[in-house]
Amino acid sequence: MIPAAPGAGPGAGALPTGTGHAPCHHGELLQGVFLDGDGRRCAGLVTLPMAGPGSSAEFVRRPGTEPGALTVTPADRTKAARAAALAVAECAERTGQPPCGGELRLTGDIPVGLGMGSSTSDVIATVRAVADSYRLRLTPGAVARLAVRAEQACDPLMLDGRPVLFAQREGRVLEVLGPALPPLAVVGCTLGRGAPVDTLSLPAYEPADSDVRAWERLRTRLRRALATGDVHLLGQVATASARRGQEVLAHPEFDALAVIARRVGAAGVQIAHSGAVAGVLFDPATPGLRHRVRSCLRALDSHGIPATRIFTTFTTTKELLHGRKGLDGLDGPGSLSGLDGAGGLDGPAHRGGDRQAGPRTPRRPARLPAL
């Protein structure tokens, strides 16, 4: 627990109010069952971070009211409501105050049901807002623990963006794989016509020892890819993980997506293992990247796979150009203009407003598939 900065509190006589924010991700680079430091099996994942969309929360605390007197807007954010109650209890105990009720308001622009961590983002933003109303800043470990209690499993959105193998059902880091991902350019799309994945209907799956060994080999290769900045090795790992995920998800377009990636010279593909979002991964240093991305967009369209977003994992031109040339005509941080109406990197794949990546589905509890 770290005290918030002085002066961050509300004005005199005002109800204690706090705010919080959390990002989303673009599915996983790796997901499976791994061994922890004690040799115990743990479901784990490595997410692909994506800047831009996120969830924001405002919590108005009402001291003296009953702890159950919590209201949430929108009213269907049940996991966020549980997170608010848990965070109030935690923060009240830390500050020696009685638990109370309050009002939580959530806003955000994360597409729902595609496996981009929308529910975890809501939960983390909520926990941070509640803590802020108490003038506390909870550690990532404490936020993760509350998030798992609120939704049974969570994504590592409370961390600092370093690539980690994260035990989503336990809210703990199994391994920090490196300081950062190598620069990637990603053409996002949706599979299964963008329909949300009903993870409750997925068949139960108990991995064999050979499966765990295969995932551990992918873990080793990903660690090496990050240590050496090898985008193509990273792409191979992500593709292998995505292909294993098809044993459960069975997206009908996956084979076509993998073929498109090979034909346009991409490093590989990645998917959300609990949703419909997917991405074609490019090394920004690849010659002719602009042409390759255009070809990818045309191929996706010809196969009826909706392109949604083109983005990068780097944020500054300096980071890109430091030994990694390849984006001729870079217009700014992470941008790539002139892609035949595709927008720039870090922007919607089609002009005409901030179109969501998937259908406008109502918020619902998002569960990761059983592994």
**H-helix segments, the chain:** 78-95, 118-133, 140-151, 209-228, 231-249, 254-263, 289-302, 317-321
Which parts of the chain sit beneath pLDDT 70? 1-13, 195, 197-204, 315-371
The highest-level CATH class for domain 179-348 is alpha beta
Rounded to two decimals, what is the model's pTM?
0.82
The answer to whether 191 touches 271, Cβ cutoff 8 Å, is: yes
CB-based contacts of 78: which residues, under 8 Å, 6+ apart?
365
Cα–Cα dist 301/99, whole Å: 53
pLDDT of amino acid 204: 63
DSSP per residue, 314-370: ---HHHHHTT----TT--STT----STTS--TTEESSSSS---SS--PPP----PPP
pLDDT of amino acid 228: 96
pLDDT of amino acid 198: 61
CATH code 3.30.420.40 for 2-174: no
Residue carrying structure tokens 């991995």: 207
Two domains, one topology: 2-174 and 179-348: no
pLDDT of amino acid 211: 95
pLDDT of amino acid 168: 95
pLDDT of amino acid 358: 39
pLDDT digits (tens, 9 = 90+) for 130-166: 999 999 999 999 999 999 999 999 999 999 888 999 9
Residue 328, phi then psi, degrees to nearest 5: -60, 135
Cα separations (Å) of 310 from 111, 197, 289, 341, 345?
15, 23, 13, 12, 5
Where are the domains positioned within the chain? 2-174, 179-348
Burial of 96 (0-12, 13-18, 19+ CB in 10 A): exposed
Q: How many helices (H) and strands (E) does the chain have?
A: 8, 13
pLDDT of amino acid 200: 52
